[in-house]
Amino acid sequence: QKEVEQDPGPLSVPEGAIVSLNCTYSNSAFQYFMWYRQYSRKGPELLMYTYSSGNKEDGRFTAQVDKSSKYISLFIRDSQPSDSATYLCAMSLQGAQKLVFGQGTRLTINP
């Protein structure tokens, strides 16, 4: 079993839809949870990060962490074609430089 599981998709939705992306994990010691966005032929870039459980909102993006269920989510409201990319979840132990990534979900927003 992988330490972090993420559905690779692909996921295709119409413009304006609410998108939900999810990851599950097995290591209860993870403390920091991140979402990276990767456009085609580019390196990943950090979208959001949260510490421990709870919600964090940034514009159209909301990250949720449920440590009791070992489940994290990223919601995108009013999705735009420019949101089309691969979204990777990542996690780490407190103070660690070792990030563990999910395999990424490829998302397409159709105009």
Partner 1 sequence: EAQVTQNPRYLITVTGKKLTVTCSQNMNHEYMSWYRQDPGLGLRQIYYSMNVEVTDKGDVPEGYKVSRKEKRNFPLILESPSPNQTSLYFCASSSSLAGGYEQYFGPGTRLTVT
- Which positions touch partner 1 (CB under 8 A)? 6, 8, 32, 34, 41-46, 49, 88, 90, 92, 97-104
Residue closer to partner 1 (CB basis): 18 or 29? 29
Residue closer to partner 1 (CB basis): 50 or 84? 50
d(CA 50, CA 35): 9
Is residue 52 exposed (0-12), middle (13-18) or buried (19+ Cβ within 10 Å)? exposed
- Least distance from C-beta 49 to partner 1, angstroms? 5
